[in-house]
A and B are shown apart, each in its own frame.
Chain A
């Protein structure tokens, strides 16, 4: 970790925790490079994308499994309800991939139905070692859109060619940000190499109170190089909150005013200074709104984050 200013990172971590304690009081909200600020909607915390300073709501919406409902119109309409609740609660970022079956097409259907193409921070991926442009054309058609806010190389597939393709699209103004994703903690070393050598705007990694490997090196590196971090699998594909279901929330959670384990986990993630936006997936509009409420109020400081990880580590 010789090329990372660890001391600066740790200072930010401490400051961020302190910020969490004051966030709900509406005090200073601009101290950190990736700091939070109240958005247009009341109480929604936002984080800055380091490469531009643009701020986005601190919780997004994933679509893996949950939005792959095929041509089932009843389920498509349920997905539209989820997105509607997500937007109503202040959310913006929706993430998908060509790997997720019909999810892209379903998102396009929902945005059409809701007339909400201008509300979304659209995030998708290129996932092929073949013709990346052909796949992106298909992705654009499925979303029924002309351009994306963020395009990422999915799981580093065809990384060299696809990254160059995304850079060219960015130069042409067809995408605003470029990133690379991985999940389940795999290929972390490869991702770190790409982060060191490329001018990325975003990375997407798996991170939650159980899977914390990225805390060691990747998150500090992202902070140091000014790369925004999207967190996938915040609930381990739902299994984490299922395991915690029925367990009472720890007493210290009352300070954070959380309603559920899901919110506690999201606050744990949002409070990390390197994390820009976790993207939990859900089929339940109520849960989409509940997840967004994690981006409100007080965030845990570093000590409390460790407590959260310890408690959850014991329970699962």
Chain B
């Protein structure tokens, strides 16, 4: 389409908030067991990340990879694509994120998750907490039913938010490869929610800003660039 310049943001909104939030109601109802499993898998991954020692690093990455795979198929492919013709354009990004997480899990030296006590760690944990506890239930304030909750592990927005948090509490070279897809998704989601006049549109945008800021701090402090040693991994 060569005439994109002639469209405004409002033109590209294809669905109403009513239909959008019904998608979460449907997936939560029809796939409740998978949705609950994915949410619990996320909690386990977070527990492992915060645990002393680093033996669960590969498990965290495998769980996150499975979660991104489920979001790609379960939500985007099954439910979101019928109402949004743009999904095929960003679905490959979700598949790439799934593959990257699995690739990091299979590397000889996977990413090392853990609390470092620096600003990035605080914001990372904050983002994960927001993804699990705040974002899913923000709709209650706006009068939506609990069954329409966007849960980490199945809904793309909290999953992207939480993944940014996980990356911020991770160390290791190339971890920045995991950032573009959730960052881009957060921006797209924020725009979609803003056009739908949803106040929560600010949250993904704040997450983007915090991640970029913390990434810059980590780069300055050498957190990102310093290689993890075998000895550290064996801790």
Residues of A within 8 A of B (CB): 65-66, 68-72, 75, 98-102, 128-129, 155-157, 183-184, 186-187, 237, 283
Contacts and interface: CB of A to CB of B under 8 A. Distances in A.
B23 to A, nearest CB: 7
B11 A66 contact: no
9 contacts: A66-B16, A68-B14, A68-B19, A71-B82, A99-B14, A102-B83, A156-B3, A156-B6, A187-B6
Interface of A is mostly: loop
Interface residues of B, number: 22
B82 A101 contact: yes
B73 interface: no
B211 to A, nearest CB: 30
A101 B14 contact: yes
Contacts of A100: 14
B83 A101 contact: yes
A171 B79 CA distance: 40
A105 B210 CA distance: 41
Contacts of A98: 85
A65 B196 CA distance: 11
A182 to B, nearest CB: 8
A121 to B, nearest CB: 24
A130 to B, nearest CB: 9
Contacts of A99: 14, 85
Given A75-B22, A101-B15, A184-B11, A69 B83 contact: yes
Contact of A101 (B10, B11, B84): B84
B82 to A, nearest CB: 4
A72 B26 contact: yes
Choose among A68, A70, A237 the residue with the greatest number of B CB atoms under 10 Å from its CB: A70
A129 B6 contact: no
B219 interface: no
Contacts of B22: 69, 72, 75
B83 A155 contact: no
